[in-house]
Amino acid sequence: MPIPLLEIRDLHVAVGEKEIIRGIDLTIERGTVHALMGPNGSGKSTLSLALMGHPKYTVTIGDMLFEGRSILDMKTEERSLAGMFLCFQYPSAVPGVSVANFLRNTLMARHKGQAPLKPARFKQLLEESIAKLKMDPSVLGRYVNDGFSGGEKKRLEILQALVLQPTLSILDETDSGLDIDALRIIAQGIEAQRGPERAILLITHYQRVLNYVKPDVVHVMLHGRIVKQGGFELAQELEARGYDPLIKQLVEA
Ligand SMILES: Nc1ncnc2c1ncn2[C@@H]1O[C@H](COP(=O)(O)OP(=O)(O)O)[C@@H](O)[C@H]1O
Ligand SMILES: [Mg+2]
C-alpha cells in the first residue's frame, strides 16, 4: 500500500475552550478528489484551518500526517512549502502587493533551494493560467484582493493554485456565491489541478460544483464529525433532500 497523501487520525480541534472538531478520521490518496459537505457551522472551515496550522485552532487529540509525516509541529509556511495549499472561504486583501508579485514570491518560496523558475517560464505559466480562468490580464497589476468582487477573489484563489501546483489543494467553498458561468470556469480550474500525484479536498455546502468536478469520495460533516461517507450519489441525495433527513436519522439512532 502506498503512503496516503493525507491521513487525519481521530482529530479533535478546539478554539479556546470550545471543542469544534470532535474526532475525525479521513484518508486522502494521491490522484483523488474528496468532497467534504455539511451544513453551515458543522466545522468544515475549522478543519481546513487546522490542517494549515492556523494558530487559533488547537489540536487537542489526534494527528495529521502529510506524506506519512506528522505536520502537527510544522508552521503554516512549512506546510505550504511541503505542498499543502488552502483556498480561503473569505480571502483577505493585501494592499500594496500586486497579484503578479504576490504569485512570484509565493512560487519562489515554494521552490526555495531549487533552480529558480526562468522569468519567461513564469510569465508563460501566468498567462496560461489566467487564460484558463478567463481572467483579464490586467488583474496582475492590481493589489491582491483589493476591491475585488466575490467572484474575482475566488478566481484569484484558483489562479494561485494553478501557479503553485500544490500536491494537496484544500478548497473551502470556492464555489459559493458564483453565478453559473463563473462556477463553470472555477470548476475547470479545479479540474486542471487533478493529477496522479496530487489530490483535492473540495469543501462545499452545495452539490452544484460536484456536477462539474466529480468527487471520488463524499464525506458529510455534522457537529464536528464525519457522519456519512459515500460516492457522488450521496451528494445527489443531499441536494434532493437537504441535510434534515440525515440529521433526523442521526438524532433518532
Ligand atoms: N475563530 C473562531 N472563534 C470562535 N468560534 C469559532 C471560530 N471558528 C469557528 N468557530 C465555531 O465553530 C463552529 C464551526 O464553524 P465553521 O468551521 O466555520 O463551520 P463551517 O465552515 O462548516 O460553516 C461554529 O459554531 C463556529 O461558530
Ligand atoms: Mg466554512
Encode pLDDT of 203-253 as tens digits: 998 889 999 999 999 999 999 999 999 999 999 999 999 999 988 988 887
Q: Is residue 1, in this structure, part of any structural domain at all?
A: no
Judge whether 155 lies within some domain: yes
Residue 42, ligand 1, Cβ within 6 A: yes
* Residue 223 within a domain: yes
Distance 45 CA to ligand 1 centre (A): 7
Interval 90-140: pLDDT, tens: 777 777 889 999 898 888 877 777 777 788 988 999 999 999 999 999 999
Strand 69-70 to 57-66 pairing: antiparallel
d(CA 219, CA 232): 10
Q: How many structural domains does the chain have? A: 1
Protein residue with least CA distance to atom 26, ligand 1: 41
Domain assignment present for 207: yes
Check pLDDT > 80 for residue 88: no
Which one of 45, 47, 89 would you pick to mutate in the ligand 1 pocket, going by the greatest count of ligand atoms within 8 A of its CB? 45
2 forms bridges with which residues in the sheet? none
CA distance 226 to 242: 16
Question: Does residue 150 sit within a domain?
Answer: yes
Residue-wise pLDDT tens digits, 37-81: 999 999 999 999 999 999 999 999 999 999 999 999 999 989 988
pLDDT of residue 54: 94
Ligand 1 pocket check for 215: Cβ under 6 Å = no
Range of the domain at 243: 6-252
CATH number of the domain that residue 12 is part of = 3.40.50.300
What pLDDT is recorded for position 119?
86
Looking at all shown ligands, the one closest to residue 17's CA atom is: 1
Residues near ligand 2 ion, CB 5 Å cutoff: 44-45, 89
Tell me the C-alpha to C-alpha distance, in Å, between residue 144 and each of 13, 141, 154, 159, 236.
30, 9, 12, 12, 36
**Tens digit of each residue's pLDDT (9 = 90 or more) over 133-189:** 999 999 999 999 888 988 888 899 999 999 989 999 999 998 888 899 999 999 999
